[in-house]
Amino acid sequence: MTSGIRPYWRNFIGGEWVDGADGTRITVTDPATAEPIAEVARGTPADIDRAVRAARACFDSRVLRDQRPHRRGDLMLAVAQELGKAADEIALLECRDNGKTLANGRAEVALTQRYLTYYAGLADKLEGRQIPLGDGYVDYTTHEPYGVSGQIVPWNGPLPVGARSIACALVTGNTVVLKSPEDSPLSLFLLAEACERAGVPAGAVNIVCGYGHDAGAALAAHRGIDHIVFTGSVETGKSVLRAAAENVVPCVMELGGKSGAIVHADADLDRAAASAARGIFNHAGQICSAGSRLIVHRSIHDELVAKVRALAAARSVGPGIDGCDMGPLINARQLDRVEALCAAGRAEGATAILGGSRLEGTKGHFMQPTIFTGVRPDMRIAQEEFFGPVLVVIPFDTPEEAIAIANGTDFGLAAGVYTRDLRLAHWTADRLVAGQIYVNEWWAGGIETPFGGMKRSGYGREKGQEALLGYVQTKNIGIRL
Ligand code: NAD
């Protein structure tokens, strides 16, 4: 085990730190070295059941929902403050169990605090309507919490993804059972500690690490949950939805993407190149909204590709803890998958003008920054999500063709457009089928802007004010005076 990281972590259920019901453990490895760094208690269906009961008891006690809403906001402010005290430890954990760079690890703590404080501020602003029914009646609506929110989180950004769902759930009076990702569970334990220190009532937040097919499936199918927030792949999302359908449980589904940026001929190419490189190589492309397709006007294709290639080639690849620009993929399976998809691209006739394979000479799961040209929209590499540092470049001749290419996948999470022409920017944004459109900067927006998918990328929104509406149900109260 490695110094600086605690060797063993327990799950947080009903305000207590507990071993797994069957005493087994999950070994967590560092993707930069493939060495074990810690063990966590393995949550099983029995642990999930215990956590759901704790969350139900807390919800039924009405300890959260009977409070003045701003008090629930105060609680989130306190969690944000407590989390800040663990910022250095969390940044280290995100490097070691997740493969992030130290800068990214620190940024994730700040981002998580922003989620907590943002939803703290909204706690007392979710208002109902008064509906006029004429003389003798008073009618109004309220936003009721669902009850126990079951939340399943992916490995690529567990802390902010988990915290934003927890914050939305708690400020609206729900309670939470969160299944943390088996590959990178550690930072969420520090969020649980921050909740404990901040005085979040026992049972309001329960965090259980376990395997997806086991603990995850048990949570999705549990009869005692009232609401599901799932962030992960489309295939897993479908199985969660089947389980939810059995219990008629509403879901927020945040699934994958194959997001494309259109670069028109008049774009600022230096700006577009820098933005495109950041959009795909940040966290080695393991971001659902990564800009993984560059759809480029043929007249500027070669010049733009040369600029992006130079930026990509300048990135140092290696452990984030050593200050490198791009860390590893999360595990060997993911590295194999990304490499195999690159091989499929070559077999279909595309050219890797940079990278295209793993970094040799290391036990870590490092993929080289990769750029493919000569890509047709129907190729597998233009259709399937890599979830790795692989950019595919597709040329176009007319704006209509660019839209057809951009919209021509199953996904619809994010899309972008680069142009100096405001009319063309708006024309393009209007026709792109995606939940978020970025104009002249990939990831323009923030925690304040609603985020979520269209088509197979899912439904429901996280971030922004819209997210809160996914955690409440409307009740109408009609009164005959
Ligand atoms: P995944 O679907 O394999 O796993 C996500 C979570 O689901 C994990 O906690 C896993 O343990 C759990 N899980 C696995 N099988 C399950 C089952 N049968 N029932 C219930 N839970 C189960 O995804 P991943 O590989 O961890 O993450 C990568 C995927 O997530 C990518 O497709 C990416 O685009 C997507 N993602 C989306 C967003 C978003 O906001 N839209 C954010 C991050 C990641």
pLDDT per residue, tens digit, the chain (481 aa), is 444 689 999 999 999 999 999 999 999 999 999 999 999 999 999 999 999 999 999 999 999 999 999 999 999 999 999 999 999 999 999 999 999 998 999 999 999 999 999 999 999 999 999 999 999 999 999 999 999 999 999 999 999 999 999 999 999 999 999 999 999 999 999 999 999 999 999 999 999 999 999 999 999 999 999 999 999 999 999 999 999 999 999 999 999 999 999 999 999 999 999 999 999 999 999 999 999 999 999 999 999 999 999 999 999 999 998 889 999 999 999 999 999 999 999 999 999 999 999 999 999 999 999 999 999 999 999 999 999 999 999 999 999 999 999 999 999 999 999 999 999 999 999 999 999 999 999 999 999 999 999 999 999 999 999 999 999 999 999 999 9
- Which of 184, 288, 411 has the most ligand 1 atoms within 8 A of CB, as the residue to mutate? 288
227 lines ligand 1 (CB under 6 A): no
Cα of 164 from ligand 1 centre, angstroms: 16
Cα of 233 from ligand 1 centre, angstroms: 5
Q: What is the pLDDT of residue 376?
A: 98
Which tokens go with 208? 């259980």
209 lines ligand 1 (CB under 6 A): no
Cα of 232 from ligand 1 centre, angstroms: 2
Buried b (16+ CB within 10 A) or exposed e, 14-50: bbeebebbeeebbebbbbbbeeebbbbbbbbbebbbb
Which tokens go with 36? 């074990």
**How far apart are the C-alpha atoms of 255 and 234, rounded to whole Å?**
5
Cα of 141 from ligand 1 centre, angstroms: 35
**How far apart are the C-alpha atoms of 299 and 312, rounded to whole Å?**
22
**How far apart are the C-alpha atoms of 279 and 291, rounded to whole Å?**
5
Tally DSSP H helices, then E strands, for the chain: 15, 20
Which tokens go with 76? 């989130």
255 lines ligand 1 (CB under 6 A): yes
Question: How far apart, in Å, are the Cα atoms of 219 and each of 19, 157, 178, 227, 460?
Answer: 18, 20, 9, 11, 20
**How far apart are the C-alpha atoms of 455 and 478, rounded to whole Å?**
37
Closest C-alpha residue for ligand 1 atom 16: 212
Q: Which of these, 160, 357, 340, 370, lies nearest to 280 by C-alpha position?
A: 370
The position carrying tokens 């799961």 is: 365
Which tokens go with 469? 């509406």
Q: Is residue 165 a contact partner of residue 193, using CB atoms and an 8 Å limit?
A: no
Phi, psi of 462, deg, nearest 5: -110, 165
| Residue numbers annotated as active site | 254, 288
**What are the residue ranges of helices labelled H in 61-213?**
69-85, 87-98, 102-122, 158-171, 186-198
Closest ligand 1 atom to Cα of 256 = 34
Domains annotated for the chain, with CATH where assigned, are 8-255+457-478 (3.40.605.10), 260-447 (3.40.309.10)
**How far apart are the C-alpha atoms of 64 and 72, rounded to whole Å?**
7
**How far apart are the C-alpha atoms of 255 and 455, rounded to whole Å?**
10
**How far apart are the C-alpha atoms of 307 and 404, rounded to whole Å?**
25
Closest C-alpha residue for ligand 1 atom 34: 256
Q: Is residue 282 a contact partner of residue 312, using CB atoms and an 8 Å limit?
A: no
Neighbouring C-beta atoms of residue 224, cutoff 10 Å: 17
207 lines ligand 1 (CB under 6 A): no
**How far apart are the C-alpha atoms of 75 and 380, rounded to whole Å?**
47
Read off the DSSP letter of residue 222: -
Q: Are strands 25-30 and 259-263 parallel, antiparallel or unpaired?
A: unpaired
First to last CA, the chain: 69
**How far apart are the C-alpha atoms of 305 and 277, rounded to whole Å?**
10
Q: What is the pLDDT of residue 1?
A: 41
The position carrying tokens 């086991």 is: 214
Closest ligand 1 atom to Cα of 237 = 2
181 lines ligand 1 (CB under 6 A): yes
- Rounded CA Rg of the chain: 23
Q: Which of these, 414, 415, 420, 425, lies nearest to 462 by C-alpha position?
A: 414
Which tokens go with 154? 């992916």
327 lines ligand 1 (CB under 6 A): no
385 lines ligand 1 (CB under 6 A): yes
Give the helix/strand (H/E) hosting 469: helix 464-469
**How far apart are the C-alpha atoms of 44 and 25, rounded to whole Å?**
10
Phi, psi of 242, deg, nearest 5: -65, -40
**How far apart are the C-alpha atoms of 160 and 444, rounded to whole Å?**
18
Query: What is the secondary structure of 359-423 as a DSSP string?
Result: PSS-SS--B--EEEES--TTSHHHHS---SSEEEEEEESSHHHHHHHHT-SS--SEEEEE-S-HH
Amino acid at 242: R
239 lines ligand 1 (CB under 6 A): yes
Phi, psi of 27, deg, nearest 5: -90, 130
**How far apart are the C-alpha atoms of 198 and 167, rounded to whole Å?**
13
Closest ligand 1 atom to Cα of 254 = 41
Q: What is the pLDDT of residue 5?
A: 87
Cα of 138 from ligand 1 centre, angstroms: 45
Closest ligand 1 atom to Cα of 234 = 32
